[in-house]
Chain A
Amino acid sequence: MSNIQERVVKTIVNKLGVKESEVVPEASFTGHLGADSLDSVELMMDFENEFGVEIPQEVAESMQTVGDVLNYLEEHKDELK
């Protein structure tokens, strides 16, 4: 597991109280991981805090799965803290 992935998984587990094994790239926040719309907004804010980036609102709203977040962060690797 890459360092980014580890931190993403940890953030999600902390927030949603799900098992680490459930947080796979295909898992959707609202479908598989039991988040509601408010949880999802707060999760995006947690990723921003964790990685020191600002995710534009329209991008944040389009991210449905753990994989979407991983891809975005990988693409912006150089801007992360």
Chain B
Amino acid sequence: MESKRVVITGIGTINPIGNNIEEYFHNLENGVSGADTITAFDATKFPSRIACEVKNFDPAAVFDRKELRKYDRYSQFALVAATEAVEDAAIDLEKIDLERVGVVWASGVGGMQTFYDEVMGWAGGNGTPRFSPFFVPKMISDLAAGHISLKYGFMGPNYSVTSACASSNHAMLDAFNLIRWGKADMIVTGGSEAPIIVPAVGGFSSMRALSTRNDDPKHASRPFDKDRDGFVIAEGAGALIFEEYEHAVARGAKIYCEVAGCGMSADAYHMTAPHPEGKGAKLSMRLALEDAGISTSEVDYLNTHGTSTPLGDLAELSAVQDLFGEDAYKMNISSTKSMTGHLLGATAAVEALACVFAITKGIVPPTINVEEVDPAIDPKLNLTIGTAQKREVKVAMSNTFGFGGHNSTVILRKL
């Protein structure tokens, strides 16, 4: 069976540095931080009191009362981003075969706040179960995919993908594979997460995964800096329309770039810590290059997982240098989490959008907040520190890794 080509024909987002694509791209280019003190709940007693929250988002202005009762915040973000992407792709719902349009959507945990609210309600009661009939369908992590299909009548493959912080890369990989294997013409893919809530911030705090630079939130997410002390938790969504190339051409769609290849692997090393030399990360990147038929010298930009944790950043760069050799010095490397924070299951989608930005605008988004590069990092690497750099980006690679040792890599290419 001949494999089909896959292109990106629509994009959308709502994230801590942009409530739509235009705003996101503007702030990516200008190195804007989305971090601040947590406003979602009273975090006074928490070790980490900072986050990258979505700003100026009033769900009641977007959804009606009935919808609000059904959508956890993670589904609200999904619908906002997916709607922008579907509109951007200018899909004529009357003309396309809706049975050939799917949704593969990721979330790390889904509606954790819904679960928390309902269980707290139970705990505060007299033992009589008073769970809302919307408890289960509002909470489960596949429902965002369901809601997107409901809104547009997309009857193709529909499910969610979960691999912690690698989730939306895996969703995109599945969408890519389904289209190139001929199982669908178009897929709405990406991911959403809404983790700025008591149990998630509490849980990640206990793991000592979060930055505690509480007095200076804007500089807390500082990947590759010698004083980095953990990631800054973030919320939002990224959406992309993947489409079979001939299908896109036939309907005269605007094409951003091609999805060239993907790789995935496991560390098989530890529940949460990365393999110190990034063995699994290297395998994932190598497989993605092989899949795309691209050599290490052709990669112009690498959007790293780069969460700003002491171990993770070093392991990833070690894997990069091991695989790329001298070519590692020729490409631009950056971590856009320095601006957006870490959107967990949605992070890969938002970072794939940063790669789309780099390819379409010819600008590499920066790694902000690096005051002094960690001396353990090879100074010859171009980490795109401080400000965006102009460069023609023909090939961009994006890594994301998740607790459980999941590694995933997506390669996008200029058409």
Contacts and interface: CB of A to CB of B under 8 A. Distances in A.
Interface residues of A, number: 10
Nearest to B67: A17
B95 interface: no
A42 B132 contact: yes
A45 interface: yes
A16 interface: yes
Nearest to B66: A17
B276 interface: no
B252 interface: no
Contacts of B64: 17
A39 B66 contact: yes
A1 interface: no
A42 B69 contact: yes
A39 B134 CA distance: 8
Interface residues of B, number: 9
A14 interface: yes
A37 B137 CA distance: 13
A38 interface: yes
A45 B132 contact: yes
Nearest to A37: B133
B65 interface: yes
A37 B134 CA distance: 10
Contact of B65 (A17, A38, A42, A45): A17
Contacts of A39: 66
A38 B234 CA distance: 32
B130 interface: yes
B65 A14 contact: yes
Nearest to B70: A38
Contacts of A80: none
A14 B64 CA distance: 11
B128 to A, nearest CB: 8
Main SS class of interface, A: helix
Q: Which of B64, B69, B133, B137 has the most CB of A within 10 A?
A: B133
B118 to A, nearest CB: 12
A37 B64 CA distance: 19
Contact of B133 (A15, A16, A17, A41): A41
Interface in A41-77: 41-42, 45
A14 B130 CA distance: 19
Nearest to B130: A45
A41 B135 CA distance: 12
Contacts of B130: 45
A13 to B, nearest CB: 9
B134 A38 contact: yes
A63 B3 CA distance: 56
A46 to B, nearest CB: 10
Contact of B137 (A15, A16, A17, A38): A38
A16 B66 contact: yes
Contacts of A16: 65-66
B66 A42 contact: no
Contacts of B69: 15, 42
Interface in B209-224: none
Interface in A12-42: 14-17, 37-39, 41-42
A6 B277 CA distance: 68
Interface in B125-166: 130, 132-134, 137
A49 B66 CA distance: 19
Interface in B3-19: none
A51 B134 CA distance: 22
B167 to A, nearest CB: 27
Q: By CB atoms of chain A within 10 A, which of B64, B66, B130 has the most? A: B66
B296 to A, nearest CB: 53
Contacts of A45: 130, 132
A68 to B, nearest CB: 19
Nearest to A17: B65
Interface of A: 14-17, 37-39, 41-42, 45
Interface of B: 64-66, 69, 130, 132-134, 137
10 contacts: A14-B65, A16-B65, A16-B66, A17-B66, A38-B133, A38-B134, A38-B137, A42-B69, A45-B130, A45-B132
In order of increasing CB-CB distance, the 5 nearest A-B pairs are: A17-B65, A41-B133, A38-B133, A17-B66, A42-B133
